[in-house]
């Protein structure tokens, strides 16, 4: 229950996979400033992106991102649109020219989607953990990664939203620039900036609402990108870098909520190391409930590859899963139906879902199990 004046508002326990839950602190601040942002007498949605007020917030958001990530000035922070799916073709469009090639490590649905787009632009080597039935249940071991040293870049997906797996180590890729789709676990934990050349992430899971896509590129890798004159203007990373992501109107409101979320992470949570500890505890509680259920709840992902962001499991029958979802909704727990391609149950326990929500979910799971075992 959230107090607002003399009224109380009941909030759902929201495990949607994205768009996903936002921190209450962020939502209340946005509500407070909705009609008068920073004394302008306007909503941030009404302020010109060419104004000094907006530009200050825009630049501050980039610096907050750098500070949380531990990135220096050699990293360009770009605010783009089109979701991570647009980056599936923008990365190869900008880098696979003059017969260049890349290596893609595929551990889930979105990695396959990225490969499909990349093949339109160049030669692609694929390292995949796909099972014969088309599912993905594990992350490859380092010794499985046979990477061509001539690769222009190596692409990976750090967390698999649909299948519930996550890299628990950062691969050695033989000196090739490492490109990472971090859409569903960005800023859930620290990451080794020195191992990466480019990262991208849709904001709508851990960073804010849908509408803005974060891209961070190291200067030396940006230098290798295709010349701006040979690409459509808005599909060149150089356009965004050289114009501070202000060549055209950016998604101002989404960047504003991103700004508030980054402040919440930095000042209220205390940074990524603290966020990681909270996320590890959340995942531990939920996986313990699955593992101690005597087979009532069945997790398909190998334990060493389990995601701390998207916890997936199955029940005995699809009918029982439907009953689980229906009764969970009655208990105020929403957004837990698995992806349409896989079925089952999925709890997306992103940053904004703190430990209390996970404990309430586990209480429901145990009650349901005792009644239906």
To the query of whether residue 170 is one of the catalytic residues in this protein, the response is no
Three-state DSSP string of the chain = CEEECCEEECCCEECCCCCCCCCHHHHHHHHHHCCCCCCCCCCCCCCCCCCHHHHHHHHHHHHHHHHHHCCCCCEEEEEECCHHHHHHHHHHHHHCCCCCEEEEEECCHHHHHHHHHHCCCCEEEEEECCCCCCCCCCCCCHHHCCCCCCCCCEEEECEECCCCEECCCCCCCCCCCEEEECCCCCCCCCCCHHHCCEEEEECCCCCCCCCCEEEEEEHHHHCCCCCHHHCCHHHCHHHHHHCCCCCCCCCHHHHHHHHHHHHHHHHHHCCHHHHHHHHHHHHHHHHHHHHCCCCCCECCCCHHHECCCEEEEECCCHHHHHHHHHHHHHCCEECCECCCCCCCEEEECCCCCCHHHHHHHHHHHHHHHHHHC
Residue 264 annotated in active site: no
- Catalytic site residue from 110, 167, 264, 282: 110
| Active-site pick, 76, 205, 263, 282 | 205
Is 181 considered catalytic here?
A: yes
Annotated catalytic residue within 75, 76, 167, 181: 181
Provide the annotated active-site residues. 110, 181, 205
């Amino acid at each position: 229950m959230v107090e607002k004046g003399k009224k109380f508002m009941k909030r759902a326990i929201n495990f949607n996979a994205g768009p996903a839950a936002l921190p209450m602190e962020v939502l209340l601040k946005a509500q407070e400033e909705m009609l008068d942002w920073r004394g302008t007498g306007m909503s941030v949605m009404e302020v010109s992106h060419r104004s000094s007020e907006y530009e200050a917030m825009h630049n501050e958001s980039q610096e907050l991102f750098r500070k949380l990530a531990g990135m220096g000035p050699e990293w360009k922070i770009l605010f783009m649109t089109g979701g991570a799916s647009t980056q599936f073709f923008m990365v190869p469009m900008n880098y696979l020219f003059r017969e260049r090639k890349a290596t893609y490590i595929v551990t889930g649905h979105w990695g396959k989607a990225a490969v499909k787009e990349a093949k339109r632009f160049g030669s692609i080597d694929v390292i995949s953990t796909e099972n014969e039935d088309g599912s993905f249940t594990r992350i490859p071991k380092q010794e499985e990664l046979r990477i061509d040293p001539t690769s222009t870049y190596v692409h990976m997906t750090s967390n698999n939203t649909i299948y519930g797996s996550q890299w628990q180590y950062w691969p050695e890729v033989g000196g090739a620039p490492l490109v990472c789709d971090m859409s569903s676990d960005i800023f859930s934990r620290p990451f080794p900036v020195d191992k990466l050349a480019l990262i991208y992430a849709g904001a709508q899971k851990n960073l804010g609402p849908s509408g803005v896509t974060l891209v961070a590129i190291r200067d030396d890798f940006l230098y290798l990108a295709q010349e701006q004159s040979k690409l459509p203007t808005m599909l060149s990373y150089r356009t965004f870098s050289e114009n501070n992501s202000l060549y055209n109107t950016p998604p101002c409101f989404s960047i504003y909520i991103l700004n508030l979320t980054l402040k919440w992470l930095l000042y209220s949570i205390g940074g990524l190391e603290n966020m990681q500890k909270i996320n590890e505890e959340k995942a531990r509680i939920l996986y313990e409930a699955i593992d101690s259920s005597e087979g009532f709840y069945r997790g398909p992902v190998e334990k060493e590859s389990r995601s701390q962001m998207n916890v997936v499991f199955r029940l005995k029958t699809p009918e029982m899963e439907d009953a689980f979802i229906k009764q969970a909704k009655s208990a105020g727990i929403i957004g837990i139906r698995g992806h349409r391609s896989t079925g089952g149950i999925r709890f997306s326990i992103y940053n904004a879902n703190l430990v209390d929500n996970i404990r309430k979910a586990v209480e429901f799971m145990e009650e349901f199990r005792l009644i239906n075992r």
